[in-house]
Structures are given as C-alpha cells and as structure tokens.
Chains A and B, each alone.
Chain A
Amino acid sequence: MNAEPVVLEVEDLVVRYPIHRGLVGTVARRPRRTVHAVEGVSLSLQRGEMLALVGESGCGKTTTAQAVLRLVDPVAGAIRFDGRDLVPLGSRDLRPLRRRIQVVYQDPYESLDPRFRVRAVVEEPLLIHNLGGSKAERAERVRDALQRVELSPPELYLDRFPHELSGGQRQRVAIAAALVLEPDVLVADEPVSMLDVSVRAGVLNVLDGLRQQGLAILMITHDLSTAARFAQRIAVMYLGRIVEEGRAAAVVRNPQHPYTKALLSVVPRRDPRDRQRPQILQGETPDAVAIPTGCRFHPRCPVAIERCSVEDPLLLQPVSAERGHRAACLLLSTGQSG
C-alpha cells in the first residue's frame, strides 16, 4: 500500500483467563474452565495509520488491546514493537517502552482524577516516566500537548478541574495526557462512545489529525460507521478471532465474511430513505468458554454448510476481494485448489 514502517506487529496472540472454580468446585474436582478471550490474532499497524478493531462485546477486542499494552499476559504469541518482542520482557525492561505505547479509555468521567487540575493530569505521566527535564520544560510540554488536542489557548484549561469541562474536553485532556509522552502507538478503546453525538466528531477529528502527523492508532470500537469513516483498515473480530480484515473502504463496500455482512446490514443509516432489510442474527455471541467446533461462527451463520461445523477456516484472501483483504470463511473461493 505505502512504505510507512510497521510499528506494531501482533502475531498469533492467544489470551486465556482461567475461571475460578471456588472451594466447592475445587473439592468436587470440577474441570478447570477457561475463557478463550483471544485465540490466534495477528495484526500489524503502520506509522500514520488507524486500524479499527471492530466487534461485539466479548469478541476479544479489548483483551487484544490490553495485551498490546502488556496489561494482561498472553498465553502465546508475539507482540513486536519496533521489531522487539514485548511478551518476554519484565516490568523493568517494559517501562521505557510503555511510554511509547499509550492508551485512551472509553470514559473520560472515570479516567481523569477529579482532584487534579488539567495541568497536573497532563504533567503526571512526565513525572512518572521521569521525563521533561525542568519544571519550565514540563510546563511547555503540557501546553504543547493541550494545543495538539485543540484545547487552545491552553491557559484557558490548565487550571480547570475535570468537572469544569465538557465530556469532549475531558476526553481531549485524556488524549493530551497520552500525547505528552510522545508515543508512537495510541490505543483508543471506544474513545467516543460515552460522548454526546455533537462532540464525538471533534474528538475523532483530533485523533485523525494526530494520525496524519504520524501517530499509529489502534482503535477499539463497536461502531462500524465510525470505523468506516476514520480508520484506514478494519479488522472484524468474532469470538477471539479476526474473521475479516482489509482496507476500511473494501471491508465496508465489499464485505466477504457472512458475519461482517450481517453487522454492516444492521448499522442504522442516517438517511431514512436508506432503510434496508437488516440481516439480523438471532441469539448473541456465545460464551468464550465453549467455543463452537469448526468455524466458530457456524451456529449463527445464515449460510453455514455441514463442513463449517468441522473445519476451522483460515484468514485468506478470497478471489472476490482486493489484495490485502482477507476473510476466514470456508465458502469463499481463495483460488487455491483443494
């Protein structure tokens, strides 16, 4: 596509959470059960690119992000940042790298300390990482970060408390507190879903501007409309796997996987004339404890055939899709015989 360097590469990531059996369960020797949150996810993120990880609750998108941030320990797989695998690193070795992979959470009402003024919220990461030199230099960095999220002039915001700011402004402060460390990668976990519609676009446009300046953004979202408009690439997750991945426009206009097709069909459109027959899947995403055999989507799939309950499809490029657009469905012809 283009020659921007890959900054983050996730390979065959597996994350599982054990379920505590409790005393009774242990005594009764009930089998240990495990939540298979992420089962073999690979993705890569270039400089200046936003990759949207899309899917419903429980699909593993947030767990993937937490693994990238090294907040959960993967069972298997590699997370390469700048060519170096983060998985085997201990906390001491991780620390200098953490500065370069930052995160913005969903709820700016929860994520900002209510007792801190904006100045302190944005400065704190510098103190923690022992960066920014003198007090004056730190103040300059804080002002600069606020300007980059379009809270300007910074003087207007520096001495305010979070409760004196609107939701959109709070989220910008949270982004500024991530930016002040000059990260290479920003993980944005549902960055606008708690905000009023009228201010969402403002925050998304800020992220888009940062991306154009070279920041790599991994955006976790359940909103395909937002992903379609702001991301360069979309990866659709279902039950711990990426089932489709490609250029955002290609995934939206030429979806290959039946799950992606269904998801797209139920996205409400703002033009009432665009009402279409939604292809509503019944039931909900099954528990990640008991993953269905074969293709994990087959019990809800409208076009599943017998083979789908046996064979686990690989993420491949179908002949009906452009280069770099891959989907994991047995019904898609990949041009390979067999």
Chain B
Amino acid sequence: MSVPLLEVEGLHVWFDLEGGGELHAVQGVDLSLDPGERLGLVGESGCGKTTTALAILGLLPPNASVSGRVLIDGEDILAGGEAAMRPHRWVDVAIVFQGAMNALNPVRTIGQQIVESLELHGRAKGAVARTRTAELLESVGIPAGRAGRYPHELSGGMRQRAAIAMALSCNPRVLIADEPTTALDVMVQAQILELLDALCRDFGLALVLVTHDLPVVAQLCDRCAVMYAGEIVERGPLDVLYHTPGHPYTRMLFAASPDLGMGDAPVLSIPGAPPRLDRPIDGCPFRPRCDSAFAACVERPSLLEVGDGHAAACHLNTRVPA
C-alpha cells in the first residue's frame, strides 16, 4: 500500500486555561488523505475541527500543547517543532482560514499581498512574482486586471477567491478550507464550491473541508469524518454515512438539516449540548444526547471498522443481539 499524502495519528491538543485547568480540545484524532482526495471534517462548534486543522499546520497559540504525529509522505513534521514544520507549511499543506476573506490586509491591494507571500517563501521575485500572481488570480476566477484592487473594493465572494489564491501561492498539494462558504450567499457559495471542485480536479489538489454544514460536504467531498467532543466518532464514504450511518450522532446530524426534498418529514434537533472538554468525560461523550444509548455506553467506545473504509465509535455496532 502506498503511503498517504497526509496522515494524522493519535493527535491530542490541550489548551491551558487562564486560572488553571486545561481543555482537552482534540482527543486522539486519526486521519489520512490521499492525493486528490476530498475529505469533509464535520461537527458542531467547539468539537475540535478547527483546532485539528490548525494543529496539522503547527499554527496553534502558545497556550496549546500537542501530542501525536502529523506525517507528510510518511515523514513526521510535528516532532521536530517549527524547524521541521516550516518547509512544509504552505508548501505541502496550505489553509484558508475561517473568515480569511475578512482578514486580508485592508491597506494593500490583493495583488501586492500575493506577491508578498511569493517573495516571502522565495518562490518568485519582481516581475516573475507579478506574472505568477496574475496566473493565481486567474486560476481562482479573478480577472488579472483586478490585482490592483483593495479588499474593500471586492465583494465577499471575490475576497474569498483572493484568500484561496494566496493559500495556493506555493503550489500546495493539500488545501485545508475552514468554513469557506459560511458567510456567503447561496449563489456565491455555489460559485466557491465549484471553484474548489475545479481546483481539485484540474490540479489534483487534496482538500480538507472543515464545516458544520453536512449538505455542503455531501455535495463536494468523497469521504467525511464526523467529530464530536474532540474525537472522530465516524468516518467513511459520504454515501455510506448518509444511507447507513454507524453512529447515532451522524444520523441525527443529517436529520437536523432541512432538505429540499424532505416534504413534511420532521426536522429533528439534537437535544442538549456537547460536553465540556475541561473535565474528564465518562463513557461515550454522546450518551446524554443519544436516542439509542444503552447499558454499554458507560464505557467509552473506540473507533472500529464497521465496513469498507467505514469506521464508527459506537457500541451499537458491536452489540450482541439478545
């Protein structure tokens, strides 16, 4: 078997809290991504999906401690600290941050900002960098002539495209996009999803789409990992997750998303709220909100294979029929 492009093994992240205590934000996450593959990373606010994305790139704030491995082509880039990470960040794995469209430098043109990132990484200089910038902008659907525009002169959709162009400046093989369409209108969202789709198809880019929006993942991704309370509770092909989910949380998340084709079928919310992560969790973290919890759920389930490329962390899958 070939080595995956990106692999995450046993990732844990703790945040030191002000006033003592710590928050166990990511609790043993494993992921793998092949070239050109599209993975959705889904869950509610606070489930650890963004923290996982930032940990992969070594971009966590100083009050975070990390353990586990992040492998690129089989090489651990987490163990060697910043020195080991730096040659790979943006070059192999790039990220479009949540709200990146609103984080562009307001006093520099989008062209200048991309040129700057090219120069900073020693990719190109001067006229070459400007030509490359024009190409990058065209590749995300911004006419090269708009390189001289300031962020405030562009619409939300255009700014998001510029943020994507900037992330692509070092020709990464993996793009992590954190909620890339959340603040956008449906039609602009569709344009951005079409762009991500085209980038994956045309450049063989692998994509990790971090979002709370399952239908968006269902439209764009091949596989999906569902996170809850800092861990992956289910992962597998999207089709399988929708039609034969192996975890009640996945089933309930799909049932909570209204769908155009659902007619009068009920839309069900998930009662309660996720557990706090600043104290130890007893048993299955989803147990208090689960509609199918039973005696075995006092033990924390582990993520087990339940089908081809499909794994779930739920005791229902190993329950012996009475």
Contacts and interface: CB of A to CB of B under 8 A. Distances in A.
Contacts of B194: 278, 280
B262 A229 contact: yes
B254 interface: yes
A107 B269 CA distance: 19
Contacts of B271: 202
Contact of A166 (B213, B219, B273): B273
Interface string A174-201: 0000000000000000000000111111
Interface of A: 56-57, 166, 168, 196-205, 222-226, 228-230, 249, 252, 262-264, 266-275, 278, 280-282, 284-285
B267 interface: yes
Most buried by A among B189, B239, B259, B269: B269
Interface of B: 44-45, 155, 157, 185-191, 193-194, 212-216, 218-219, 238-239, 242-243, 252-254, 256-264, 267-271, 273
Interface on chain A toward B: helix, strand, loop, or mixed SS? helix
Contacts of A281: 187
A263 B188 CA distance: 11
Contacts of B219: 268-269, 272, 275
A223 B261 CA distance: 14
A267 B187 CA distance: 8
A197 B239 contact: no
B256 A269 contact: no
B261 A197 contact: no
* A-B pairs with lowest CB-CB distance, top 8: A202-B269, A266-B190, A268-B215, A201-B269, A198-B270, A56-B185, A225-B258, A201-B267
Contact of B212 (A197, A201, A226): A197
Most buried by B among A203, A204, A268: A268
Given A197-B44, A198-B256, A201-B258, A280 B186 contact: no
5 contacts: A56-B185, A198-B269, A202-B271, A270-B259, A280-B191
Nearest to A224: B260
Contacts of B242: 270-273
